[in-house]
């Protein structure tokens, strides 16, 4: 979580990267100048926005062995194994993946700015884990006291064929 989330928030709220990142990356972590730290402290964030779509297990691959497959290369760079299963048991209900034809329809008929949202919610390996949202909201509220918190995006995307066809049939060019 610190690599993916708090690397942005900690400098804004506390003027430096999280202690955990310093331990992990040591001299490879860029250092803030005194001037940069001062600017960060003067220009505090008005609120924190959370986009939450799934919850996963994360295993530390520094102090424990991991079998990182090629498709997990992004997580391998962070030296963690991210997975939706532990001991063969899913963390939650698997989220259905939208079909490629629906993706093409979405690209053709809606703005590309919304495409990023669609991609976030329709990956294989995403799970419906409502308590994950509760845990992250509680943690962020505790860590960044007195900062308004907004859930800016959440949920899952599941267009049925009929739902997609409704938009195709109602389009007038």
Residue numbers annotated as active site:
153
Q: DSSP string spanning 22-86?
A: HHHHGGGS----HHHHHHHHHS--S-EEEEE----EEEESSSS-----GGGHHHHHTTEEEESEE
Residue from 54, 48, 57, 112 nearest 85 by CA: 57
Look up residue 38 and give its two tokens: 């001062």
- Tell me how crowded residue 14 is: count the other CB atoms within 10 A of its CB: 16
In three-state secondary structure terms, 161 is: helix
CA dihedral 48, 18, 59, 74 (to 10 degrees): 70
Given a contact cutoff of 8 angstroms between Cβ atoms, the answer to whether 59 and 83 are in contact is yes
Residue from 82, 91, 85 nearest 132 by CA: 91
């Amino acid at each position: 979580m610190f690599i993916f989330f708090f690397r942005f928030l900690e400098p804004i709220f506390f003027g430096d990267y999280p202690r955990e990142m310093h331990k992990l990356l040591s001299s490879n972590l860029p250092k803030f100048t005194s001037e940069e730290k001062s600017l960060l402290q003067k220009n505090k964030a008005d609120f924190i926005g959370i986009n939450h779509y799934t919850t996963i297990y994360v295993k530390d691959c520094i102090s424990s062995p991991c079998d990182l497959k090629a498709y997990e290369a992004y997580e391998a760079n962070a030296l963690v194994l991210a997975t939706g299963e532990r001991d063969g048991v899913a963390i939650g209900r698997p989220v259905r993946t939208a079909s490629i034809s629906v993706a093409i329809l979405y690209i053709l008929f809606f703005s590309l700015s919304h495409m990023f949202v669609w991609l976030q919610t329709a990956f294989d390996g995403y799970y419906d884990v409502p308590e994950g949202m509760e845990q992250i909201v509680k943690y962020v509220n505790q860590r960044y006291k007195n900062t308004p918190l907004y859930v800016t995006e959440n949920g899952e995307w599941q267009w049925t064929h009929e739902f997609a066809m409704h938009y195709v049939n109602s389009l007038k060019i």
